[in-house]
Chain A
Amino acid sequence: MTELTHKTITELREGFRSGDFSAREIAEAFNAAVAAGRGLNAYTVETPELALDAADIADRDRTTNALKPLSGIPLGIKDLFATEGVDSTSGSRILKDFKPTYESTVSGNLKAAGAGMLGKLNMDEFAMGSSNETSAYGPVISPWKRNDGGNAALTPGGSSGGSAAAVAAGLAPGVTGTDTGGSIRQPAAFTGISGIKPTYGRCSRWGIVAFASSLDQAGPMARTVRDCAIMLEAMAGFDPKDATSLNLPVPQWEAGLSADLRGKKVGIPKEYRIDGVPAEINAIWDQGIEWLKDAGAEVVQISLPHTKYALPTYYIIAPAEASSNLARYDGVRYGLREMGVKSLDDMYAATRAAGFGAEVKRRIMIGTYVLSAGFYDAYFTKAQKVRTLIKRDFAEAFKECDLILTPTAPSAAFGLQEKMSDPLAMYLNDVFAVPASLAGLPAMSVPGGLDSQGLPLGLHLIGRELDEQGILNAGLAIEERAGFNHRPKRWW
């Protein structure tokens, strides 16, 4: 029997249902892996007892045939999700020890579907970062190493870095992530797993700590495309507590999976061939094109002319919203409070100076600046207009194709500390991911292969609004052809 922690959600579900092993055995195996994996710093909180409790319920429900979609499956939850009674810090010192009295809709949906919780996953502070190095609780270390014989610690990507590392290292069969400008897709690509950001509004944002409200979207990260479909079905759904939630039924994505792409047109945007991107990235992209053709799809060249403005636009809109969203962390009602000061303003300043890390402060300042009187029109209003143009680019492109294939990130995983001193280089990580975020479109990353250093590279699929099925199917077609079954060699 393969180790339980190497199995996919699909395999665990089948094995559990057919009685090959119990939910308790699954939970115990993952609890042990989590404990043994502390060197990765993927989890900020471990909740083995919660995983066992859910497993015992699943084992009981199996005897009464009352199984739920995710009965017996333990999951990791990104720390951006509020989890009732369990520390929810968003990777920030300002929320250290914060225990919500409420459960986010998405994590609540997963629990209602029978899933257990292994713990809370480390992340970039308030989801601001692409390397998980901005976490107040230390960086997550990727389970992957370069094959150069060196021992350099690599980033799992970010902001859902703990999530990605946990799945890649077998510390969870599936996890939640959130994606504002690539935070599910880039770490999935860096760690050789799959992750999908659904259409904006599919998953409720209620109870997820806000970074940039118009962009934030939750999604699953797991070993396979099918696992992502299973999880997303449980996570998504209309929530009257989120005014931007889509009031639509949740499609049966798993049942709809098909790797047959005949009749589908895949668009290849010429603007995504950018200077300075390693040849290996373009090579895997070309390989992806061949796989999709092999699956029956027709490949067409498309243009997304405003692509080059996407990153600057994103770095105006996201910080602007963040600067306002993070105003509530003021030391008055919860979280960190720095006293020993003379006035209310002093308390705000001291609390926020001590509570926020450098990257969060940078974005609050950028956001405050672009919303300021005299700069608002030049930055924020202009960025909103460009965002509209980027949306229009996609609308035009989707007249000629059904989905779009690009690389997920412009490089493989890099070493810790390599880019921390250069924010612009760091921001470039999301150059391929950000346009779909600005347009609110579903997008996913699936593993394509390894580069010459033995590190995973991801392929990125962007779909029409609400067409998660289209990208899941294309992802499945790639998955079947790539045969990506590499795992990091255990060193932790």
Chain B
Amino acid sequence: MADTTAPYRIKGETGVWEVVVGLEVHAQVVSNAKLFSGAATAFGAEPNTQVSLVDAAMPGMLPVPNRECIRQAVRTGMALDAVINRWSRFDRKNYFYADLPQGYQISQLYHPLVGPGEVEILLDEKDENSVKQIGIERIHVEQDAGKLMHDQHPTMSYVDLNRSGVALMEIVSRPDMSSPAEAGAYLRKLRAILRYVGSCDGNMEEGSMRADVNVSVRKVGGELGTRTETKNVNSVRFVMAVIEHEARRQVEVLEEGGQIVQETRLYDPDKNVTRTLRSKEDAHDYRYFPDPDLLPLELDEAFLEECRSSLPELPDAKRKRFEGLGISAYNASVLTAEVEIARWFDGLLDAGADPKQASNWTVAELFGALNRTGKSIEECPISPEEAAELLKLVADGTISGTIAKQVFEIMLETGEAPSKIVEERGLKQTSDTGAIDAEIDKILAANADKVAEYQAGKLPLFGFFVGQTMKAMAGKANPGVVNERLRAKLG
């Protein structure tokens, strides 16, 4: 396995290069209504059914900020340990396009809602010391555009305005990432935090989260190079592919004596290449200016306090808490990466399960079963309480670990409670020495040769006797008692 903490380097003809990466993540805010209108925001609705007069930019219509969208962005900023600007303002970004009804996007250029913050990533998820801080420059709130549909008519394009006016957070990182893996870790971590906070569902396939990827290369330790920006990349894998491809392309251009042009590029996932969308020379002049329809956004202490107090425990805090409970760094990292898993596991702990045992069981048994059946944790047929009950049956010696696996399978199939399964199917572990002795006596008698070998010093045969006894007891014998009785009888 590759060492994920080794620096990412590109060996070129003229030397060794490193890559500098910054990401601008557009995250759709979870809210029932759009940023400046009361229209609904559900994904997948019939075209143009979630459009208000404001979203269609009818004459005389005015934007009114939706408090919930602002609240979600503030909570996100707080979760990223960022400066919350009590005074911010909306600006208009002017350009013409058919998916932009107003002829401008309401955004925040000059005075964003959220200032500097940071995200901690683990370069190696098994090593809690492999942390790196990725700086957040700012988060601003803005409107999404509509969508053009080119496949509805032979010569014309159609416009769907359902998404027009939906609130986005643009989360701008500092150029602090230096490999595809770091960018991937950052995106996954950011996504996890947003989902913990509940401010974005993080669904990249549905476009709820997309990234603009800024990449430049330089000789190790050298001056920053000219960057390119690859727009609208919609998966973690693609972001990593873009960086890898773009860094290599830039190194090739530079080593051939060329120059990197500051430009906007597009990623083609089918061919795994990026290509020029527009260069700096054709860049739009967006003519940003403060939106005169909106007053500056001023946040009071009560609002900020409500935002703060409504934040859940975040991934890093949860991971550290889990580690404090004796859970391994790896398990803690895996169990906190997704908010649904973390919540499920917290439920398991709340139901009284032993943290270490529960974490091992969850990562090995539960995840294994979910993988096998292709289910997500939300679709898990077993509740944390039922799982806790199962683990308790093992812990208190009611059933053995082997039987527990059987019980778990039955639970998955039938949805029945573990104690009921154990009771009805007679799977309880026995410590009845009379019954165990009787089986041991039979086995020792039938294997007199092996008894002799054991007593002559071939000690590993002990396991054989244990196995035979457990098998004869149909797995229900208490292994401790079996061991003890065997030792007594074998001398």
Contacts and interface: CB of A to CB of B under 8 A. Distances in A.
B103 A371 contact: no
B289 A380 contact: yes
Q: What is the interface of chain A mostly: helix, strand, loop, or mixed?
A: loop
B57 A371 contact: no
B59 interface: yes
B94 interface: yes
Interface stretch (B1-9, B24-32, B62-70, B300-308): B62-70
Nearest to A352: B96
Interface stretch (B77-85, B290-298, B482-490): B290-298
Interface string B262-295: 0000000000000000000000010111001111
Contacts of A212: 292
Contact of A209 (B56, B60, B94): B60
Interface stretch (A24-32, A324-332, A397-405): A324-332
Contacts of B159: 332
B102 interface: yes
A320 interface: yes
A243 B54 CA distance: 13
A213 interface: yes
Interface string A362-384: 00000010011100100010000
Contacts of B412: none
Given A328-B103, A333-B57, A344-B98, A242 B62 contact: yes
B289 A320 contact: yes
A356 to B, nearest CB: 13
B92 A324 contact: yes
Nearest to B95: A327
Contacts of A326: 103
Contacts of B345: none
B105 to A, nearest CB: 11
Nearest to A334: B58
Contact of B94 (A88, A90, A243, A371): A371
Interface in B72-118: 92, 94, 96-98, 101-104
A243 B60 contact: no
Contacts of B58: 82, 100, 102, 333-334
Contact of A241 (B62, B96, B103, B287): B62
B474 interface: no
Contact of B295 (A243, A368, A372, A373): A243
Contacts of B94: 323-324, 327, 371
B287 A371 contact: yes
A205 to B, nearest CB: 6
Given A206-B62, A243-B294, A332-B98, A372 B287 contact: yes
Contacts of B53: 101-102
A104 to B, nearest CB: 6
B61 interface: yes
A372 B293 contact: no
B59 A90 contact: yes
B153 to A, nearest CB: 14
A432 interface: no
A109 B439 CA distance: 95
B96 A243 contact: no
A344 B53 CA distance: 23
Contact of A333 (B92, B96, B101, B294): B101
A104 B58 CA distance: 12
A324 B57 contact: no
Contacts of A323: 94, 287
A117 interface: no
Contacts of B62: 205-206, 210, 241-243
A324 B61 contact: no
B344 to A, nearest CB: 42
A333 B60 contact: no
A285 interface: no
Contacts of B293: 210, 213, 243-244
A207 B58 CA distance: 9
Contacts of B104: 324, 327
Interface in A93-145: 95, 98, 100-102, 104
A371 B289 contact: yes
A333 B102 CA distance: 11
Contacts of B287: 323-324, 368, 371-373, 376
A348 interface: yes
A214 interface: yes
Contacts of B65: 243
Nearest to B96: A348
B290 to A, nearest CB: 8
B103 A95 contact: no
Interface in B158-183: 159
Contacts of A321: 292
Contact of B292 (A82, A100, A102, A213): A213
Given A243-B295, A244-B293, A324-B289, A345 B96 contact: yes
A333 B60 CA distance: 14
A327 B98 contact: no
B297 to A, nearest CB: 10
B111 to A, nearest CB: 14
A444 B285 CA distance: 40
A243 B97 CA distance: 26
A39 interface: no
Contacts of B288: 371, 376
B60 A332 contact: no
A328 B101 contact: yes
A376 to B, nearest CB: 7
A98 B59 contact: yes
Contact of A206 (B57, B60, B285): B60
A208 interface: yes
Given A333-B101, A368-B287, A244 B295 contact: yes
A240 interface: yes
A283 B53 CA distance: 50
Nearest to B97: A344
Nearest to B93: A324
A348 to B, nearest CB: 6
Indicate the member of A88, A326, A332 with the most B CB atoms within 10 Å.
Answer: A332
A214 to B, nearest CB: 4
A242 B64 contact: yes
B103 A373 contact: no
A345 B95 CA distance: 11
Contacts of A205: 60, 62
B59 A209 contact: yes
A376 B289 contact: yes
A333 B59 contact: no
Given A88-B59, A90-B59, A206-B62, A372 B101 contact: no
Interface string B20-49: 000000000000000000000000000000
Interface in A225-257: 240-244
26 contacts: A100-B59, A101-B53, A102-B53, A102-B58, A206-B61, A206-B62, A207-B60, A212-B292, A242-B64, A243-B65, A243-B293, A244-B293, A244-B294, A323-B287, A324-B92, A324-B287, A327-B94, A327-B96, A327-B102, A328-B59, A328-B101, A330-B96, A334-B58, A348-B96, A371-B289, A376-B289
Given A213-B293, A324-B289, A332-B159, 19 more contacts: A82-B58, A90-B59, A95-B59, A100-B59, A100-B60, A102-B53, A209-B60, A210-B62, A212-B292, A241-B62, A243-B62, A243-B64, A243-B295, A320-B289, A324-B103, A344-B98, A368-B287, A376-B288, A380-B289
Interface of A: 81-82, 88, 90, 95, 98, 100-102, 104, 205-210, 212-214, 240-244, 320-321, 323-324, 326-328, 330, 332-334, 344-345, 348, 368, 371-373, 376, 380
Interface of B: 53, 56-65, 92, 94, 96-98, 101-104, 159, 285, 287-289, 292-295
**Top 7 closest A-B pairs, CB basis?**
A327-B103, A371-B287, A213-B292, A214-B292, A328-B57, A207-B60, A209-B59
